[in-house]
Structure 1
Amino acid sequence: MQKHIFPTMLMTALLLPVLFSCNQQQTAEQTDQQEQATDSISTDSLYTLVQERTFQYFWDGAEPNSGLARERFHVDGEYPQNDKHIVTSGGGGFGVMAILVGIERGFITREEGRQRLDKIVRFLETSDRFHGAWPHWWNGETGKVKPFSPKDNGGDLVETSFMLQGLLCVRQYFRDGNAEEKELAARIDKLWKEVDFNWYRNGKNVLYWHWSPDHAWAMNFPVQGYNECLIMYVLAASSPTHGVPAAVYHEGWARNGAINATTTQFGYTLHLKHNGAEEYGGPLFWAHYSYLGLDPRGLKDRYANYWEENTNQTLINRAWCVENPNGFKGYGPESWGLTSSYSVKGYAGHAPGPKRDRGVISPTAALSSMPYTPEYSQQAMRHWYETLRDKVWGPYGFYDAFSETDNWYPQRYLAIDQGPIVVMMENHRTGLLWNLFMSCPEIQAGLKKLGFESPHLK
């Protein structure tokens, strides 16, 4: 099972003080006025408010020593505060992209952003790495790996790829700046070139998710599509120092063409075999994580048109909630979105299907789908903000998940769910991160090597 869907460690608590930056473009007083006048807030202002609040998870809410995103934050304090120092490579990668959004939106200054990113890069340079790859979790105070499970105490190539996707955007953003900015870009370039994608082949034409210095390949997880991991294969093919041949993508990820399987639901067709979720498609983070930087607009290869695939997956997900065959309270056109998130009992991979839908709505699912379904996503955002706000809205934006059926409204956040909200909403508005990532010459070369088409390819 993929650990983003069924993680092996019980989600514990985090209760931290919430402080807001004095450098925000929108003052706290203005925010309060907007929140008191919900009928008058414009769509553009609501977009910015949601982005700014969610951005703060990665700014004021960051672990102070590393500067990285904490794995989670529990406002309700239901569980003991014992892991406030645990930071995450994947969610942290989404966070560095959110910092770029914060600069562009005026939530922080360019120099404040550079200084924070300098701290993060310094931590990444000195913390535990395994053949260039970072672990899923670290102790943010020491840089030492925090095991995600008993045998998962080494490199995590998927989470590393999420971090690299963000770092390459940062490199491109600062590469032509002042001396300090250019120096930061050069250090990021060095980190990127030190990741040994070839090592993670384990001698085969496929990429493995994990390697441990203590347990070697015991996790035994060759990554095959389709799921959230396309970005890893694109990066592996693009690496200028440890690049893998195209056969690794076609034989490993695409399984010699077996990645294709056609299914139609609610009038929308999927052409990729969504692992373990073929009938209705997987949880919606599959349409987000790889595409925070990798621009799906016009992106095609021999297996799929990725804009169509992601849009249809989102529309199936929404249509399932609107039809609501399980009869859950609150589901409908204004409240939809199933993905991996906190659940009434622990953590679960929510997705369309009689057994996978547990009556839990995860706001990140609809909000991060803003590029694919802007009107539907906006409808949900406004409904949650204006109708359910006291139950689902907190210091870092919308909480991770809720269930009207179970009257369950936990005040909790997860980094890996908050990050895509900021980034994908910005991609919908300006294409910022898409344009940065796709401007990387190595990425363009890697996509060509794998047989992709994209309007970005020169």
Structure 2
Amino acid sequence: MRYLIISSLLLFFTVGCSNTSNRATSSSQKSWKDLTDQQLLDTLQYQTFRYFWEGAEPNSGLARERIHMDGVYPQNDQDVVTLGGSGFGVMAVLVGIERGYITREQALERFQKNVDFLANADRFHGAWPHWLDGPTGKVKPFSKKDNGGDLVETAFMIQGLLTVAEYFKGGNEEEKQLVADINKLWEEVEWDWYTKGEDVLYWHWSPSYGWEMNFPIGGYNECLIMYVLAASSPTHAIAPEAYHKGWAQNGDIANDTVYYGLNSVLNFYGNENEPTGPMFWAHYSYLGLNPKGLSDRYADYWKLNTNQALMHYRYAIDNPKNYAGYGEKQWGMTSSYSVNGYAGHHPGELDLGVITPTASLASFPYTPEESMNVIRYLYTEADSLIGKYGPYDAYSVEHEWYLPRYLAIDQGPIPVMIENYRSGLLWNLFMKNEDVRKGLDRLGFSYN
């Protein structure tokens, strides 16, 4: 079923797109005030979808790492494709089909381009790097030693691709071929190789530096989906021990704390003064993996994510550092642009007075009322923070700072998680995948 939002789109085209500075005008502010909550969600989803549709790198059709409306970029950075952000982006394109922004045929053509590019791009034991050069498909080093396979970014990409495959698997011959091509990519990822023969998964491997980055992934963070997919692989599955011993740290992951009257459920940092993390931890793994009804011996994942979002909300209300702007309409911290470069904001020591809209907006399934407060504030009281692709990446009232810039990894979760709240689209698709269900069973999960 498609959800046509003609009135909202016409409103956006007349008062949003007409402004060449990519800022909303005072007339758009007045118009946005007249929208219902559902119309505001329509507008936000459409704008953020456009990042991945109109703003895509042309050769690959995948997501650019960043889009700066001020035109100021790091050297040779405009053509960099981000793997994780592209995984979020292909899911945003599915939202575009269902919401009537594009046709199924247009999306199929884009997905064919994406998959063809990924099949011919640099891979390392089946894993893509963090960044690829869009025109050539060659690795673009994320850092000196990070010039090979990135298993976490690969997991985010595979999560998106498997969701696309579920959407098209009952279709025509062209669509079935797309599904077959996606499954081939899925089966070629050597998840088990990235254990080094140990009971844990490693984040990176480089053809030049081997395992020198030495980043075994254990303890709670954004990487749950990687372990689920690694256990689900039909060709290169890891043993359950890697999950229980490596990721769950022999059960120590379940040593939670209490913060603002809420249980953290899992052990985020092992430090009572830092009991929660940046909000992307509640987003990236759960764009397809449905936390509703999801549990294992360590956690109820709906409670985990809802409590994390409410911790951020209550922290902003309390505002222990007395930053200007914090409150019920301005809350949520995550890794993003910041007043001095890039930072991993979260309550506590790394609260720098910066609000990142994706933190609350992509938390809509967990905190619909609290997140709606932020959406309405941005569109009706702070419209200078809204551009062509939705809210800009980050801002600070305290430091009187913002830049008209976007990051794929922050824009992508917004339309996807809002759609999961509204219709359950991406959750329903991903959770139908038979391999994924087998992997969850192997790891001892209960799920809907």
- TM class by shorter chain equals over 0.9
How far did residue 102 of structure 1 move? 0.4
Q: How does 1:273-288 map to 2 (within 5 A)?
A: 273-275=267-269, 279-288=274-283
For residues 235 and 360 of structure 2, what CA distance do their matches in structure 1 show?
A: 38
Aligned match of 1:402: 395
Gaps of 5+ in 2: 17-27
How far did residue 276 of structure 1 move? 6.4
State the SS of the aligned residue for 1:262.
coil
Inter-CA distance 30–369: structure 2 relative to 1 (3 Å threshold): same
Assess if the C-alpha contact under 8 Å between 2:86 and 2:408 holds in 1: yes
Supply the AA of the counterpart residue of 2:38. D
Inter-CA distance 383–190: structure 2 relative to 1 (3 Å threshold): same
Aligned match of 2:342: 347
Aligned match of 2:316: 321
Inter-CA distance 128–26: structure 2 relative to 1 (3 Å threshold): farther
Deviations 1:343-396 (A, max 9, x none): 00010000001x210000000000000000000000111011100012x10010
For residues 185 and 74 of structure 2, what CA distance do their matches in structure 1 show?
A: 36
Deviations 1:25-77 (A, max 9, x none): 56864223593423321111110100000000001100000000000011122
Aligned match of 1:446: 439
For residues 340 and 15 of structure 2, what CA distance do their matches in structure 1 show?
A: 37
Supply the AA of the counterpart residue of 1:86. V
Assess if the C-alpha contact under 8 Å between 1:362 and 1:400 holds in 2: yes
For residues 205 and 71 of structure 1, what CA distance do their matches in structure 2 show?
A: 32
Aligned match of 1:436: 429
For residues 443 and 9 of structure 2, what CA distance do their matches in structure 1 show?
A: 48
The alignment of Structure 1 onto Structure 2 pairs a total of residues equal to 431
Assess if the C-alpha contact under 8 Å between 1:227 and 1:275 holds in 2: no
Supply the AA of the counterpart residue of 2:36. S
For residues 60 and 271 of structure 2, what CA distance do their matches in structure 1 show?
A: 37
For residues 119 and 424 of structure 1, what CA distance do their matches in structure 2 show?
A: 25
Aligned match of 2:153: 159
Supply the AA of the counterpart residue of 1:417. D
Q: How does 1:379-390 map to 2 (within 5 A)?
A: 379-390=373-384
Aligned match of 2:355: 361
Determine if the alignment matches structure 1 residue 423 to structure 2 residue 424. no
Q: What percentage of aligned pairs have identical amino acids?
A: 58
Q: How does 1:52-451 map to 2 (within 5 A)?
A: 52-79=46-73, 82-275=76-269, 279-353=274-348, 355-390=349-384, 392-451=385-444
Gaps of 5+ in 1: 1-22
State the SS of the aligned residue for 1:37.
helix
For residues 32 and 147 of structure 2, what CA distance do their matches in structure 1 show?
A: 47
Supply the AA of the counterpart residue of 1:383. Y
Supply the AA of the counterpart residue of 1:118. Q
Runs of 4+ in 1 over 4 A off after TM superposition: 23-29
Deviations 1:267-300 (A, max 9, x none): 1111211136653300000000000000000100
Deviations 1:235-283 (A, max 9, x none): 0000000001110100000010111222111111112111366533000
Assess if the C-alpha contact under 8 Å between 2:63 and 2:408 holds in 1: yes
Structure-1-length-normalised TM-score: 0.92
Inter-CA distance 26–194: structure 2 relative to 1 (3 Å threshold): farther
Inter-CA distance 37–362: structure 2 relative to 1 (3 Å threshold): same
How far did residue 172 of structure 1 move? 0.3
Assess if the C-alpha contact under 8 Å between 1:24 and 1:108 holds in 2: no
Deviations 1:284-332 (A, max 9, x none): 0000000000000010000000000100011001111111010111100
Aligned match of 1:5: none
For residues 275 and 198 of structure 2, what CA distance do their matches in structure 1 show?
A: 31
For residues 275 and 233 of structure 1, what CA distance do their matches in structure 2 show?
A: 19
Deviations 1:92-141 (A, max 9, x none): 00000000000000111110001001100000000000000000000000
Assess if the C-alpha contact under 8 Å between 2:358 and 2:410 holds in 1: yes
State the SS of the aligned residue for 2:119.
helix
Supply the AA of the counterpart residue of 1:30. L
- Note the aligned Cα RMSD (angstroms): 1.5
